[in-house]
Amino acid sequence: MSFVIFVVKTSLDTGYSLQAAATWQSDDPNPVRPSPPARPDKLFCSPRYFSLMLIKDVSIIQSGQLLPGQDILIEEGRIANIGPDLKDESDDGELIDGRGKLAIPGLINGHTHLAMTLLRGYADDMELMPWLQEKIWPLEAKITEEDVRWGVKLGCLELIRFGITCYNDMYYFPDTTARATKEMGLRAFISGVVFDMKPEMLGQVEPFIRRWKGDELITPAVGPHAAYTCSEETLLRAREIAERHDVMVHIHLSETREEVDGFLLSKGKSPVEYLDCLGLLNSRLAAVHCVWLSPEDCYLLAKRKANVVNCTVSNLKLTSGIAPLNTLMKADVNVCLGTDGASSNNNLSLFEEMKITAITQKNAYHTPAAFSAEQVWRLATQNAWRAFRLNMGLQPGALADLALIDLQKPWFCPLTNIVSHLVYSMAGGVDTTIVNGKVLMSEGVIPGEAEILEKAQERFLRLTS
């Protein structure tokens, strides 16, 4: 449930990256190349940075098929070239052996509350109110900025291990979230959260956006929590801020039947229709969940070019329902995937999200033909790039955000349909994760991981003591 999840999630701080910001603002697939990023000054997980990098003899996916023997040349955070027998002319860059590995564009987790990784497994399998009153609210009342810092770093470790290079977050202490994310080297869209229970947060959004706009990795956004936790005045203000600063709006929408029934009774409109009346339904909107939609809602979302972020696992775990993805896609709505927070999922894996989304939709529509591996792969890649206006993909000029997957695993054998394997049988094997041309994980090793795990455990023990 979004409110519940949000209450648990309410600790935020933020930012955005220059490349991401430039891409978002201009909507230009090939924005001006920025200056090389500065080295991070933090000890933990300091990414290795070379202005040039060459990945040799790696496989890629081309038209759904495995294409081996490719080289990927990366220069100053962008893919400079891709093809066989490429050379690093300068001869002083980093060389990565791609043999036996598959390169994929880094995945984008379209909806998280990253600091909630600290609450993973703390309270599961409970009815809503006891879960909130006995477990979540007492714990959340004690959450500090330092907890968020280590919760975010823990979440970043997990994202890196799942080949996720960018995430879209909503939580308390957005500045802290942004700083911790930068230290970890990931790309993120981070919302300054707005909701009426904490009216002072509305005034914090614009300063937050100003602080982070133009950052190399962090893109600020506005995050009105939901239509039912924000007044009309607050929602209009959020829209005004988003338009003034040309940033995205991130909101939970039509997550539960109760939410939709409440709007129909009180306003005579669905939440989707209500947002449309307020001028919030447009291409800068990332509407999360969208489980309870009428066919008219689906076509309205399509007409306004709004983006939908589906979180199947969270919706199933909280018994919220199943989003009508086939109807949305037939209406030509841009749908991408997110995991939601770790207290309602309980991990951040988009591979798991892809598989469960596909098999859930097959059951919802009573046919195994309802949702193919190729369709769900497209949701996790191309649709996400479109929603966040990122120049991604394994092609010259794209952001050097990618993951290398070790194909020498039993779940990839025999090498028949690689997209099917990634969606249905992938059970690990992300070997290397690269963001903005920097190696964040190499051969399964993330510098500083042990310290982060230790600190996160300490923060959890402090919270529950």
Give the residues lining the site for Zn ion (CB under 5 A).
5, 340
Query: Whole-number minimum distance, CB 315 to Zn ion, in Å?
Result: 10
CA distance 383 to 376: 10
Q: What does residue 306 show for φ and ψ, rounded to 5 degrees?
A: -75, 155
Nearer to Zn ion, 229 or 375 (CB): 229
Nearer to Zn ion, 19 or 191 (CB): 191
> Parallel, antiparallel, or unpaired: how do β-strands 16-17 and 187-194 relate?
unpaired
Sign of the dihedral defined by the CA atoms of residues 10, 15, 20, 21, in that order: positive
Nearer to Zn ion, 4 or 439 (CB): 4
The secondary structure element, H or E, covering residue 317 is helix 312-317
Nearer to Zn ion, 287 or 331 (CB): 287
Bond prior to 168 in cis (omega within 30° of 0): no
Query: Whole-number minimum distance, CB 111 to Zn ion, in Å?
Result: 6
Nearer to Zn ion, 343 or 436 (CB): 343
Q: Which two tokens stand for residue 361?
A: 């939709």
Query: Whole-number minimum distance, CB 155 to Zn ion, in Å?
Result: 13
Q: Which two tokens stand for residue 330?
A: 């037939």
Q: How many CA atoms lie within 13 A of 439 on its CB side?
A: 23
Query: Whole-number minimum distance, CB 223 to Zn ion, in Å?
Result: 10
Query: Whole-number minimum distance, CB 214 to Zn ion, in Å?
Result: 27
Nearer to Zn ion, 250 or 421 (CB): 250
Nearer to Zn ion, 2 or 433 (CB): 2
CA distance 165 to 196: 32
Distances from the Cα of 334 to the Cα of 54, 77, 114, 299, angstroms: 33, 27, 24, 12
DSSP structural state of residue 1: -
Sign of the dihedral defined by the CA atoms of residues 137, 141, 142, 147, in that order: positive
Percent composition of the chain: helix, strand, coil (DSSP 3-state, to 5): 40, 25, 35
Query: Whole-number minimum distance, CB 35 to Zn ion, in Å?
Result: 35
Nearer to Zn ion, 5 or 218 (CB): 5
Query: Whole-number minimum distance, CB 295 to Zn ion, in Å?
Result: 25
Nearer to Zn ion, 204 or 315 (CB): 315
Q: What does residue 323 show for φ and ψ, rounded to 5 degrees?
A: -70, 145
Query: Whole-number minimum distance, CB 8 to Zn ion, in Å?
Result: 9
- Looking up tokens 């709006």, which residue turns up? 249
Q: Would you say 189 and 209 are in contact if contact means Cβ atoms under 8 Å apart?
A: no
Query: Whole-number minimum distance, CB 225 to Zn ion, in Å?
Result: 9
